[in-house]
């Protein structure tokens, strides 16, 4: 049996990603680029949420289209739009997919969505405890929980026929508009490349947010080293950034909600260091080559921590981490186990300030 991604008869492919996170999509990109290089003849439809369009647009030629997903039972990112299901399935049927792949992860509901697309062949990740349909075993890969997120997707496409290559490498190309916005931001706030640190205190779930007073301690230490301190986040995180700024003794520039995605990428690229939670900013920093210290509380560093001389992972030292909870059901002990002093040391090391 010819592996599907090496089969010239496979021309139209649906990739069922169903993720809203910036980091999720950035970690998919190395596999998408490898797939495009191996099979430039494929038409690749990425099935995910409409709101991710700005990130998908940065994927260049790796994806041909975003097919907006209306949600489904068992997919937790957004409540289902039940009225949109029929139109979504009709749009999928019109495309006459040769192959539909579950690239969501370890969730059987995503396999149900994949099967409903009507593709000639279905495959992708096989969640733990879920068995592929008879005769389709070779089209699936048991979800490789021991690998980094980006490597999981590379392993899948290699399993399905794309030649093996080098290690995963995240990318986020900057446009002329991004660079112009960034230059204006620096000038407006009196910031110089390499002379400011970025604090990103937000995250989508409360359990992934290191306390504001701990971020403030880091900010004050880096300010004492002579770095300007910049706060970032999405518009909904204004209160989080304000809490950090209020707890700091030193002044901070609050850019929460004030940059575009590309502007944030440029801001991170030119920073001395980013200190943030296990969230999209850490992956964006990796994609533009920024130095970053990432605080992991319930998150899984095996899956999400980036490697290399410009990255440091500060991991909770508690037996209940990693865990799946969005709100801690006990006493949030993972947050207390990550000490500001350790984070300050890692940030100073990356920023080139040294210990004081």
First-to-last C-alpha distance (Å) of the chain:
63
Q: Which range among 162-166, 242-246, 317-321, 325-329 has the greatest average pLDDT?
A: 242-246
Quote the mean pLDDT of the chain.
95
CA–CA separation, 290 vs 98, rounded Å? 39
Q: What percent of the chain has pLDDT over 70?
A: 99
The residues spanned by each domain of the chain are 4-159, 177-351
Instruction: Say if 4-159 and 177-351 have the same CATH topology.
Output: yes
Q: What is the mean pLDDT of residues 241-259?
A: 98
CA–CA separation, 277 vs 270, rounded Å? 19
pLDDT tens for 96-115 read 999 999 999 999 999 999 99
The model's confidence at residue 215, banded by pLDDT at 50, 70 and 90, is very high
CA–CA separation, 42 vs 22, rounded Å? 25
Q: Alpha carbon 174 to chain centroid distance?
A: 17
Q: What is the mean pLDDT of residues 168-187?
A: 96
Q: Is the pLDDT of residue 355 over 50?
A: no
pLDDT tens for 42-89 read 999 999 999 999 999 999 899 999 999 999 999 999 999 999 999 999
pLDDT of residue 353: 55
pLDDT tens for 292-303 read 999 999 999 999
For the beta sheet containing 140-142, the strands, ordered from the edge strand earlier in sequence to the opposite edge, are 65-68, 43-48, 12-16, 99-102, 121-126, 140-142
Q: Is the backbone of residue 74 left (phi > 0), alpha (psi -120 to 50) or beta?
A: left
Asked: is 4-159 a CATH 3.40.50.10480 domain? The reply is: no
pLDDT of residue 87: 97
pLDDT tens for 110-153 read 999 999 999 999 999 999 999 999 989 999 999 999 999 999 99
pLDDT of residue 354: 44
pLDDT tens for 313-352 read 999 999 999 998 889 999 899 999 999 999 999 999 999 8
Q: pTM for this one?
A: 0.94
Asked: is 177-351 a CATH 3.40.190.10 domain? The reply is: no
Q: Is the pLDDT of residue 356 over 60?
A: no
């Amino acid at each position: 049996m010819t592996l599907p991604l090496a089969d010239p008869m496979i021309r139209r492919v649906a990739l069922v990603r169903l993720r809203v996170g910036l980091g999720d999509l950035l970690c998919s990109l190395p596999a998408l680029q490898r797939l495009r290089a191996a099979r430039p003849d494929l038409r690749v439809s990425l099935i995910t949420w409409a709101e991710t369009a700005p990130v998908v647009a940065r994927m260049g030629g790796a994806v041909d289209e975003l097919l907006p997903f209306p949600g489904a039972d068992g997919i937790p990112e957004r409540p289902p739009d039940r009225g949109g299901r029929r139109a979504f399935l009709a749009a999928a049927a019109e495309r006459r997919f040769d192959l539909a792949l579950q690239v969501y992860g370890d969730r059987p509901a995503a396999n149900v969505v994949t099967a409903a697309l009507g593709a000639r062949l279905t495959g992708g990740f096989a969640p733990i405890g879920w068995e592929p349909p008879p005769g389709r075993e070779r089209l699936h890969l048991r979800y490789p929980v021991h690998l980094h997120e980006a490597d999981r997707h590379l392993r899948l496409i290699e399993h399905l026929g794309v030649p093996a290559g080098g290690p995963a490498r995240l990318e986020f190309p900057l446009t002329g508009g991004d660079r112009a916005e960034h230059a204006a931001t620096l000038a407006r706030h009196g910031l110089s490349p390499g002379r400011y640190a970025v604090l990103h205190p937000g995250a989508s779930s409360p359990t992934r947010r290191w306390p504001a007073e701990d971020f403030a301690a880091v900010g004050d230490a880096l300010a004492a080293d002579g770095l300007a301190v910049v706060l970032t986040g999405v518009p909904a995180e204004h209160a989080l950034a304000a809490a950090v700024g209020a707890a700091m003794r030193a002044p901070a520039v609050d850019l929460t909600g004030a940059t575009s995605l590309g502007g944030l990428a440029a801001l991170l690229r030119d920073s001395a260091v980013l200190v943030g939670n296990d969230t999209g900013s850490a992956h964006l920093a990796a994609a533009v080559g920024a130095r970053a210290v990432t605080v992991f509380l319930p998150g899984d560093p095996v899956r999400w921590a980036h490697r290399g001389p410009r990255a440091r992972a500060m991991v909770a030292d508690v037996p209940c981490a990693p865990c799946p909870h969005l709100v801690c059901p006990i006493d949030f002990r993972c947050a207390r186990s990550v000490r500001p002093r350790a984070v300050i040391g890692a940030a100073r090391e990356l920023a080139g300030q040294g210990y004081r």
